[in-house]
């Protein structure tokens, strides 16, 4: 039932809409909130409390308390008093078994509550340990704030938007409006954010972060405001009083009465008792005011089935269905405290007020303490049946706080953590002052000495979807990526890249490379151009091997080490001309190698220029015994072994495109890497496959590449090495030139060379033919002494092969290793030479 039209009501009686609550249709007016429409339909119980499942009704009607949290269209914890009613919305109760009016959990918890004191989960249910999963399941079911469907996908769109303003005013009340007008008069660009729409943006500032970042939750968009100045005009919040039965349905704060009557034309009750000053709206709504008490009187409320029946004032019972309590107003200082303001207790007014505002942060209106006062705590009569709640969100009673203090948790921060007071959805708006006062009374300290708990964002509940924003995951794809998909490749992640795992049959792809010719997209390789008069000296200092003696047009393999001589990356280095070098890196190491080179160049101040060509160039590796025949169809370059030998680099046109050709052989066969501008990559790929069709040219993916390189015992940095691996132990001592001048990591490599490494990276062949797990253990005398880094089945070798780190004394050809698989040991034999073409004849053919 609605009251006659009110002077400033927010509902539009000419527009009706319908939504459902627990499947039942609810009539509403445009301008209603979900809570006001439900109230108009006769609902008084809106939620069940967090722990005890006590019935809870409207209390503040301003989005500050937890009493009206409902699930709306699948989103839990929606503040129904702030949520506009919309047509066809589906509203449901949360945290109940049964219904709001009859919640089975409330009966169970009532029986069990003597065994559930504050912090019970720290000391009960922890033994026997095997039973904890059952306890945990029960607790998660019994307590909480709604239910999330863990299998749900995104059902709503959330966006994040960056905004700027000269002045951001948080709060559109009198203080905020005045501050905004002043700033505008100075010609500043001002944005006023207000939760009730009394400004430029209807939304909630959820915090003030470093650098003046203010996220504002505005429906389904999170605005990230940065402003030259921030004016906090968040106002002051009405405070509840702590007395027995203070959570009964029918107990309201004055603001709730003002909104129920003034905004939504709803009559909150029939017979009212008022503690403090009676809101004029009571009379306006025709509510009979039975008694007006003062905050210093002893008050207790009694109820039945959770609903208010009478109020006992100084021992005298007064029957009523409505109790309005005015506990004064506390400045909403949380945002200012987050920004760095100090907060001090004003004993004369009984409130905490913000002081010492940081630069660029201002306060306006009631948040400064102006017009605020909070009367002292009401002493509760003893022996009552009803609980006195300090914190409604977390169901923390005065008894809980006293017990925590008695157990030694006597600072407000410890009380907060032990009892969870102030940690619920209200974030201390309704319970911080009460808990501090109770702590003061129990400890004998004053409120100023106790202080406040740390204010942290979010200051208001915010949907996780808003914080997550849009699902952007930066992903790299090569210029040829779509060709791989069209060819039916299975795509896999390698770092930030999406690359072909294989094109359906990895074994056939390996065979094609061994017997005919294959092509793989290696555009992901890092590519650097290092040039300048000092380029050769720079590389000499950076790498453990020699480069100054490398002739233009030749290539050398290099392993990049860090200061401690540990392997960072590897790749090939081609000398294009006297002062120009082309350096390739691993795909995932491209960025870090660029940074590494740039950093050392800055340190050494050499005359060297380092440019990244990684994205500018596509790269294809054409490999296999017929690769020369294939390329000869696309280029005029003399590809004969005499003219273009293994580890030669040449620039030439291939398929009428400018290319750099590197004759190298990561996959162990005659092969050429072709590097060309990325925009030509797809065309080059097409031409190679066309030209090689009759030669059986086949694209191959990463999986066959891994088999092929393992057959040659070529390492994969990051797979076969870790942060402790060095080039000597990894089986590449020939690469470390200790006789040359200083280079990065030299000191460490000298020591390793002198003392001998403890581990060696070796190959192994399984005797039983089964492929062990990568990461599996190498065992000697029952002890784990090493680990497997790579393992695959090789058709070319006819065996399961792999690489492993083993103690140096085991790094001898044909030594037996035991490899653990589950609880059994399987036998393997050490191999120090490549499994396939150990002399490298095929590479050089």
Partner 1 sequence: MTDLEFVRADPSHPAWRSPLARALAHAPAGVRDVSAEAQDGPLGLAAGIAGLEIEAPFARTLLARLTELEPPAVGAFAHIRAQMTVAGDDRYRIWFPQEYADYLAHAVLDAWQGLA
Residues 6+ apart with CB under 8 A from 621: 519, 520, 522, 666, 667, 671, 672, 673, 674
Residue 246 φ/ψ, nearest 5 degrees: -75, -5
Q: Which is closer to partner 1, CB of 495 or CB of 840?
A: 495
Scan residues 637-656 and list those touching partner 1 (CB under 8 A): 651-653, 655-656
Q: Do the Cβ atoms of 176 and 233 come closer than 8 Å?
A: yes
- 556 binds partner 1 per the rule CB under 8 A: no
Question: Which residue among 123, 472, 783, 823 contacts partner 1 (CB under 8 A)?
Answer: 472
d(CA 223, CA 209): 13
- 286 binds partner 1 per the rule CB under 8 A: no
Q: Which is closer to partner 1, CB of 226 or CB of 829?
A: 226
Based on DSSP, count helices (H) and strands (E) in the chain, helices before strands. 21, 46
Count of residues in contact with partner 1, rule CB under 8 A = 52
Question: Which residue among 78, 142, 659, 727 contacts partner 1 (CB under 8 A)?
Answer: 659
Residue closest to 234 by CA, chosen among 333, 362, 141 = 333
- Per-residue interface string for the shown chain with partner 1, residues 662-701, x marking contact by CB under 8 A: -------------xxxxxxxxxx-----------------
CB of 669 to partner 1, least distance (A): 24
- Per-residue interface string for the shown chain with partner 1, residues 521-550, x marking contact by CB under 8 A: --------x-x-------------------
Q: Which neighbouring-strand residues pair with 790?
A: 803
Q: Which is closer to partner 1, CB of 296 or CB of 643?
A: 643
Please state whether the peptide bond connecting residue 458 to the residue before it is cis, i.e. omega within 30 degrees of 0.
Answer: yes
Q: Which is closer to partner 1, CB of 67 or CB of 587?
A: 587
- 829 binds partner 1 per the rule CB under 8 A: no
8-state DSSP, 772: P
Stretch in the footprint of partner 1 (CB under 8 A) among 77-85, 86-94, 159-167, 734-742: 159-167
Q: Do the Cβ atoms of 202 and 218 come closer than 8 Å?
A: yes
- 164 binds partner 1 per the rule CB under 8 A: yes
CB crowding 233-269: b at 16 or more within 10 Å, else e: bbbbbbbbbbbbbbbbbbbbbbbbbbbbbbbbbbbbb
d(CA 346, CA 772): 71
- 609 binds partner 1 per the rule CB under 8 A: no
Please give the structure tokens belonging to residue 584.
């390739």
Question: Which residue among 470, 751, 758, 827 contacts partner 1 (CB under 8 A)?
Answer: 470
Quick one: three-class SS letters along 60-119?
A: CCCCCCCCCEEEECCEEEEECCCCECCCCCEEECCCCCECCCCEHHHHHHHHHHHHCCCC
- 658 binds partner 1 per the rule CB under 8 A: yes
- 417 binds partner 1 per the rule CB under 8 A: no
Q: Which is closer to partner 1, CB of 531 or CB of 601?
A: 531
- 614 binds partner 1 per the rule CB under 8 A: yes
Question: Which residue among 2, 477, 554, 829 contacts partner 1 (CB under 8 A)?
Answer: 477
Q: Which neighbouring-strand residues pair with 699?
A: 519
Q: Which is closer to partner 1, CB of 256 or CB of 617?
A: 617
Question: Which residue among 34, 59, 236, 613 contacts partner 1 (CB under 8 A)?
Answer: 613
- 67 binds partner 1 per the rule CB under 8 A: no
Q: Which is closer to partner 1, CB of 637 or CB of 799?
A: 637
Question: Which residue among 99, 379, 475, 643 contacts partner 1 (CB under 8 A)?
Answer: 475
Q: Do the Cβ atoms of 685 and 480 come closer than 8 Å?
A: yes
Q: Which is closer to partner 1, CB of 485 or CB of 546?
A: 485
Q: Which neighbouring-strand residues pair with 193?
A: 170, 201
8-state DSSP, 637: S
Question: Which residue among 2, 163, 198, 546 contacts partner 1 (CB under 8 A)?
Answer: 163
Q: Which is closer to partner 1, CB of 313 or CB of 660?
A: 660
Q: Which is closer to partner 1, CB of 387 or CB of 675?
A: 675
- 161 binds partner 1 per the rule CB under 8 A: yes
Helix (H, G, I), strand (E, B) or coil at 211: helix
Q: Which is closer to partner 1, CB of 160 or CB of 289?
A: 160
- 554 binds partner 1 per the rule CB under 8 A: no
Query: What is the four-CA torsion angle of 352, 358, 360, 362, rounded to 10 degrees?
Result: 20
Question: Which residue among 2, 196, 224, 844 contacts partner 1 (CB under 8 A)?
Answer: 224
Residues 6+ apart with CB under 8 A from 426: 64, 65, 66, 391, 392, 393
- 226 binds partner 1 per the rule CB under 8 A: yes
Question: Which residue among 612, 621, 726, 794 contacts partner 1 (CB under 8 A)?
Answer: 612
Q: Do the Cβ atoms of 18 and 28 come closer than 8 Å?
A: yes
- Per-residue interface string for the shown chain with partner 1, residues 560-579, x marking contact by CB under 8 A: ----------------xx--
Please give the structure tokens belonging to residue 52.
């005890």
Q: State CA 362 to chain mean position distance.
A: 31
- 246 binds partner 1 per the rule CB under 8 A: no
Scan residues 480-519 and list those touching partner 1 (CB under 8 A): 481-482, 497
The structure tokens 């129920």 sit at: 260
- How buried is residue 199: exposed, middle or buried, by Cβ count under 10 Å (0-12/13-18/19+)? buried
H-only helix segments in 324-384: 334-339
d(CA 263, CA 585): 68
- 17 binds partner 1 per the rule CB under 8 A: no
CB of 204 to partner 1, least distance (A): 19
Residues binding partner 1 (CB under 8 A): 157, 159-164, 224, 226, 470, 472-479, 481-482, 497, 529, 531, 576-577, 580, 611-617, 651-653, 655-660, 675-684
């Amino acid at each position: 039932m609605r009251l006659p039209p009110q002077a400033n009501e927010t509902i539009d009686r000419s527009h009706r809409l319908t939504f459902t609550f627990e499947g039942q249709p609810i009539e509403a007016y445009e301008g209603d909130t979900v809570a006001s429409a439900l109230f108009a339909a006769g609902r008084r119980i809106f939620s069940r409390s967090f722990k005890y499942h006590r019935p809870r009704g409207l209390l503040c009607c301003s989005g500050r308390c937890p009493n009206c949290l409902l699930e709306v269209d699948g989103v839990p914890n929606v503040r129904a008093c702030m949520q506009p009613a919309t047509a066809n919305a589906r509203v449901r109760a949360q945290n109940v078994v049964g219904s709001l009016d009859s919640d089975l959990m409330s009966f169970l918890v009532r029986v069990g509550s003597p065994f559930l004191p504050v912090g019970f989960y720290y000391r009960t249910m922890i033994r026997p340990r095997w039973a904890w999963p059952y306890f945990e399941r029960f607790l998660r079911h019994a307590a909480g704030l709604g239910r999330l469907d863990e299998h749900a996908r995104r059902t709503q769109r959330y966006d994040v938007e960056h905004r700027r303003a000269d002045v951001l005013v948080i709060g559109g009340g009198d203080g905020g409006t005045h501050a905004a007008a002043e700033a505008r008069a100075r010609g500043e660009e001002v944005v006023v954010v207000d939760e009730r729409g009394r400004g430029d943006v209807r939304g909630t500032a959820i915090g003030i972060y470093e650098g003046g970042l203010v996220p504002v939750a505005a429906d389904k968009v999170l605005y990230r405001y940065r402003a030259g100045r921030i004016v906090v005009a968040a106002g002051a919040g009405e405070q509840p009083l702590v007395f027995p039965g203070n959570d009964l349905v029918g107990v309201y704060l004055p603001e709730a009465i003002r909104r129920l009557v003034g905004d939504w034309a709803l009559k909150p009750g029939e017979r009212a008792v008022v503690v403090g000053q009676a809101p004029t709206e009571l009379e306006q709504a025709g509510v009979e005011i039975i008694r007006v008490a003062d905050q210093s009187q002893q008050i207790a409320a009694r109820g039945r089935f959770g609903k208010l029946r009478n109020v006992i004032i100084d021992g005298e019972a007064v029957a009523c269905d409505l109790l309005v309590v005015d506990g004064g107003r506390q400045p909403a200082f949380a945002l200012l405290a987050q920004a760095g303001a100090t907060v001090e207790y004003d004993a004369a007014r009984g409130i905490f007020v913000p002081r010492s505002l940081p630069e660029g942060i201002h306060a306006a209106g009631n948040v400064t303490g102006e017009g605020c006062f909070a009367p002292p705590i009401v002493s509760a009569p003893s022996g009552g049946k009803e609980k006195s709640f300090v914190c409604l969100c977390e169901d923390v009673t005065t008894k809980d706080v006293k017990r925590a203090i008695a157990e030694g948790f006597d600072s407000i921060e410890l009380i907060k953590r032990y009892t969870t007071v102030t940690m619920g959805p209200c974030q201390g708006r309704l319970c911080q002052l009460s808990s501090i006062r109770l702590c003061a009374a129990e400890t004998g300290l004053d409120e100023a000495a106790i202080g406040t708990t740390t204010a942290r964002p979010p200051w208001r509940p915010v949907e996780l979807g808003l914080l997550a924003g849009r699902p952007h995951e930066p992903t790299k794809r090569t210029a040829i990526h779509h060709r791989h998909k069209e060819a039916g490749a299975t795509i896999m992640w390698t770092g930030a890249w999406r690359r072909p795992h294989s094109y359906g049959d990895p074994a056939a792809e390996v065979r094609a490379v061994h017997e005919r010719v294959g092509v793989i997209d290696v555009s992901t390789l890092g590519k650097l151009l290092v040039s300048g008069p000092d380029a050769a000296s720079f590389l000499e200092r950076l790498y453990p091997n020699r480069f100054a003696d490398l002739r233009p047009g030749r290539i050398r393999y290099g392993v990049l080490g860090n200061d401690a001589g540990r392997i960072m990356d590897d790749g090939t280095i081609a000398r294009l001309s006297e002062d120009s070098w082309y350096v390739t890196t691993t795909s995932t190491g491209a960025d870090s190698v660029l940074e590494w080179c740039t950093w050392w160049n800055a340190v050494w101040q050499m005359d060297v220029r380092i440019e990244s060509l990684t994205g500018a160039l596509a790269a294809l590796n054409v490999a296999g015994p017929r690769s020369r025949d294939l390329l000869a169809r696309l280029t005029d370059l003399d590809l004969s072994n005499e003219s273009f030998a293994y580890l030669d680099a040449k620039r030439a046109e291939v398929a009428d495109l400018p290319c750099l050709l590197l004759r190298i052989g990561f996959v162990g066969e005659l092969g050429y890497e072709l590097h060309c501008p990325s925009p030509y990559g797809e065309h080059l790929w097409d031409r190679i496959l066309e030209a090689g069709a009759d030669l059986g040219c086949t694209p191959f993916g990463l999986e066959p590449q891994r088999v092929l390189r393992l057959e040659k015992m070529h390492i994969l940095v990051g797979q076969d090495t870790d942060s402790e691996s060095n080039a000597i132990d990894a089986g590449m001592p020939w690469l470390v030139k200790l006789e040359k001048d200083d280079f990065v990591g030299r000191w460490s490599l000298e020591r390793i060379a002198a003392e001998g490494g403890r581990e060696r990276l070796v190959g192994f062949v399984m005797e039983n033919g089964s492929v062990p797990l990568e990461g599996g253990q190498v065992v000697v005398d029952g002890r784990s002494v090493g680990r497997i880094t790579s393992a695959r089945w090789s058709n070319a070798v006819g065996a399961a092969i792999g690489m492993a780190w083993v103690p140096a004394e085991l790094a001898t050809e044909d030594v037996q290793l035991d490899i653990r698989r589950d609880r059994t040991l399987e036998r393997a034999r050490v191999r120090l030479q490549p499994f396939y073409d150990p002399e490298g004849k095929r590479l050089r053919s």
